[in-house]
């Protein structure tokens, strides 16, 4: 067993509070005057660079509590912390670290009295099976209330991973864990009912990473630092409570949150709410600011200017296929990221961003963007001008051709389609019309050319055979056709140009 206290002359001293230097303790140990308070045999003193110093019997077989178990640093540090903590609790007295109960030959980690009753705290770090029941019965028989607090190295970590976890026997009797690394108590039995007006889940959302409980050392440390700094109590998603040891008080076998801690938590919660509101206001301002920039570019340059926030920061915009995030603009002198409250990879990952959204800031952003976008804008304008010119030319040609075609509209046009081909009497003369197209202007060009030709030939009727669109030439050299020119569409094109359209049946009736 690793021990923190020993007897020096007739006084109990410890090896951790700095009263005696390492060198002094080493000297005394060499003189064999540091004694076991129970059996009066000498202790040796052990210390290293990192490890917590401790005493132990020189002869390991001497005076051992038969239940003694923990040889771990977790146990050593834990019983020390809990001892220091319970000492400071109101109404608690006669606190003894590593005391001895002769009746039961047990050496509990901590003994104390409260309200005239005897208590022990056992900080249990190594899983034990049936032993717990025996020890508990022994304490009970001696009129002692035993409080069992479990370590996290062997207990909690395993309980966190997966659903196949089987609770150890002792965990049916206690749900209080002490984490020596974070100096925190994790327990469902901490009384947080007095935390009125605080939505703990909402608070949790602000700064807690859900996977912290898988004990990523860095994350855990960051989180605990944060909790300690802010005097915070939080409830994890699995309904367990975590609280720094210094916020707790002992009251009649119950661990409670101190009154001033409750005030701190409430204050923190309200402050968080305020900050959230502030953050949202900033975002709204920023979003308005961005909108202003879009509007400016759309109005000024008569071109599309799309508002597409990126996935990552949601604060940028897209222009001419280029993404402009406010993160990039952060380097510009114009946008002042005066407050980025952002702790990377920690429990807190909200970021607060402010930009200079004044008129002046706007002018500066625009002037910088203008510089960056000058070429893009010029290019886009050239394309726009070209497209406009092209559209104008088409319109002119359209009007011109429509006028020219009107001289032919006094006669109907017979439209024959591919499916009529085999049934045509041999005396009917027709012209193949090759100009069917989705583009009416193309139709007009061909039609004008063909009608001019027919007029020169003194044709007494305008009869056009509309072929199906040639699709491809097969390997045998025969053309394959696809029904692409739907008669209805072709007819409506001709009608739109002012012609009366007659079909196969009309033609056959007329020639008979």
Q: Which of these ranges, 36-44, 127-135, 289-297, 380-388, lies near Zn ion under the rule CB under 5 A?
A: 36-44
Whole-number minimum distance, CB 37 to Zn ion, in Å?
Answer: 8
For residues 425 to 444, the per-residue mask of contacts with Zn ion, x marking binding by CB under 5 A and - elsewhere, is: --------------------
Nearer Cβ to Zn ion (63/428): 63
Segment lying near Zn ion (by CB under 5 A), choices 31-39, 170-178, 365-373, 458-466: 31-39
Contact 16, 52 (CB under 8 A): yes
Q: Judged by CB under 5 A, which stretch of 29-37, 72-80, 215-223, 259-267 contacts Zn ion?
A: 29-37
Cβ proximity of 107 and 68 under 8 Å: yes
Backbone dihedral angles phi then psi of residue 388, each to the nearest 5 degrees: -65, -45
Question: Which lies closer to Zn ion via its Cβ, residue 38 or residue 222?
Answer: 38
Give the binding range for Zn ion (CB under 5 A) out of 37-45, 319-327, 447-455, 458-466.
37-45
Which segments within 411-495 are labelled E, that is strand?
A: 413-417, 431-432, 462-466, 469-473, 479-482
At closest approach, how far in Å is the CB of 206 from Zn ion?
51
- CB 39 to Zn ion: min, Å: 3
93: left (phi over 0), alpha (psi -120 to 50) or beta: beta
**Cβ pair 351, 315 in contact under 8 A:** no
What is the smallest separation between the CB atom of 41 and Zn ion, expressed in angstroms?
5
CB of 64 to Zn ion, least distance (A): 8
CB of 26 to Zn ion, least distance (A): 20
**Cβ-closest residue to Zn ion?**
63
CB of 59 to Zn ion, least distance (A): 9
Instruction: Determine, following the binding rule CB under 5 A, whether residue 38 of this chain makes contact with Zn ion.
Output: yes
Stretch that binds Zn ion, among 14-22, 56-64, 312-320, 414-422 (CB under 5 A): 56-64
Residues with Cβ within 8 Å of residue 434, at least 6 apart in sequence: 446, 467
Helix, strand, coil percentages (3-state) for the chain, rounded to 5, are: 40, 20, 40
Asked if 36 is part of the footprint of Zn ion (rule: CB under 5 A), the reply reads: yes
Taking CB under 5 A as the rule, does residue 3 contact Zn ion?
Answer: no
- Using rule CB under 5 A, residue 58 touches Zn ion: no
Residue 110's beta-bridge partner residues?
97, 121
Cβ atoms < 10 Å from Cβ of 331: 9
Work out whether 39 is an interface residue with Zn ion (CB under 5 A): yes
Judged by DSSP in three states, 357 sits in coil
Contacts with 50 (C-beta within 8 Å, 6 or more apart), sequence order: none
In the shown chain, the binding pattern of residues 63 to 102 toward Zn ion, with x for contact by CB under 5 A and - for none, equals: x---------------------------------------
Q: Which is nearer to Zn ion, 63 or 283 (CB)?
A: 63
Compute how many residues bind Zn ion; rule: CB under 5 A: 4
Burial (CB count <10 Å: 0-12, 13-18, 19+), residue 251: middle
State the Cα–Cα distance between residues 72 and 322, nearest whole angstrom. Answer: 59
Closest of 283, 295, 331 to residue 275, by C-alpha: 283
Residue 47 · residue 21 · CB < 8 Å: no
**Residues forming the site for Zn ion (CB under 5 A):** 36, 38-39, 63
């Amino acid at each position: 067993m690793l021990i923190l206290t020993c007897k020096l002359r007739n006084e109990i001293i410890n090896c951790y509070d700095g009263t005696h230097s390492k060198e002094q303790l080493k000297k005394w140990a060499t003189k064999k005057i540091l004694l076991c308070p129970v059996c009066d045999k000498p202790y040796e003193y052990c210390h290293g660079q990192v490890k917590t110093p401790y005493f132990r019997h020189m002869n390991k077989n001497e005076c051992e509590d038969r239940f003694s178990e923990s040889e771990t640093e977790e146990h050593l540090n834990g019983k020390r912390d809990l001892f220091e903590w319970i000492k400071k609790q109101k109404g608690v007295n006669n606190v003894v670290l590593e005391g001895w109960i002769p009746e039961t030959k047990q050496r509990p980690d901590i003994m104390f009295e409260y309200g005239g009753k005897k208590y022990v705290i056992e900080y249990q770090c190594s899983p034990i099976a049936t032993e717990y029941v025996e020890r508990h019965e022994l304490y009970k028989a001696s009129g002692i209330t035993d409080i069992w607090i479990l370590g996290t190295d062997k207990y909690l970590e395993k309980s966190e991973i997966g659903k196949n976890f089987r609770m150890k026997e002792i965990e049916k009797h206690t749900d209080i864990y002490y984490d020596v690394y974070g100096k925190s108590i994790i327990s469902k039995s901490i009384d947080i009912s007095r935390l009125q007006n605080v939505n703990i889940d909402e608070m949790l959302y602000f700064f807690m990473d859900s996977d912290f409980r898988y004990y990523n050392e860095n994350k855990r440390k960051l989180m605990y630092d944060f909790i300690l700094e802010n005097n915070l109590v939080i409830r994890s998603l699995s309904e367990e409570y975590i609280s720094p040891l210094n916020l707790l008080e002992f009251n009649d076998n119950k661990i409670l949150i101190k009154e001033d801690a409750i005030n701190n938590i409430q204050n923190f919660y309200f402050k968080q709410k305020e900050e959230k509101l502030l953050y949202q206001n900033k975002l709204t301002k920023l979003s308005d600011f961005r909108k202003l920039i879009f509007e400016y570019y759309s109005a000024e340059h008569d071109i599309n200017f799309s508002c597409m926030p990126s996935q990552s920061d949601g604060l940028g915009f897209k222009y001419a296929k280029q993404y402009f995030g406010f993160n990039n603009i952060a380097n510009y002198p114009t946008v002042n990221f005066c407050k980025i409250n952002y702790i990377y990879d920690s429990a807190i990952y909200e970021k607060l961003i402010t930009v200079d959204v004044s008129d002046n800031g706007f002018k500066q952003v625009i002037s910088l963007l203008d510089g960056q976008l000058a070429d893009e804008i010029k290019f886009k304008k050239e394309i726009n001008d070209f497209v406009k010119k092209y559209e104008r030319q088409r319109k002119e040609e359209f009007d011109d051709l429509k006028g020219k075609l009107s001289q032919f509209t006094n006669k109907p046009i017979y439209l024959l389609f591919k499916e009529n081909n085999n049934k045509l009497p041999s005396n009917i003369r027709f012209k193949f019309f090759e100009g069917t197209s989705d583009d009416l202007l193309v139709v007009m060009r061909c039609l004008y050319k063909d009608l001019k030709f027919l007029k020169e030939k003194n044709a007494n009727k305008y009869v056009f055979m509309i072929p199906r669109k040639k699709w491809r030439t097969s390997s045998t050299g025969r053309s394959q056709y696809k029904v692409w020119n739907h008669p209805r569409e072709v007819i409506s094109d001709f009608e739109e140009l002012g012609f009366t359209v007659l079909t196969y049946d009309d033609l056959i009736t007329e020639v008979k």
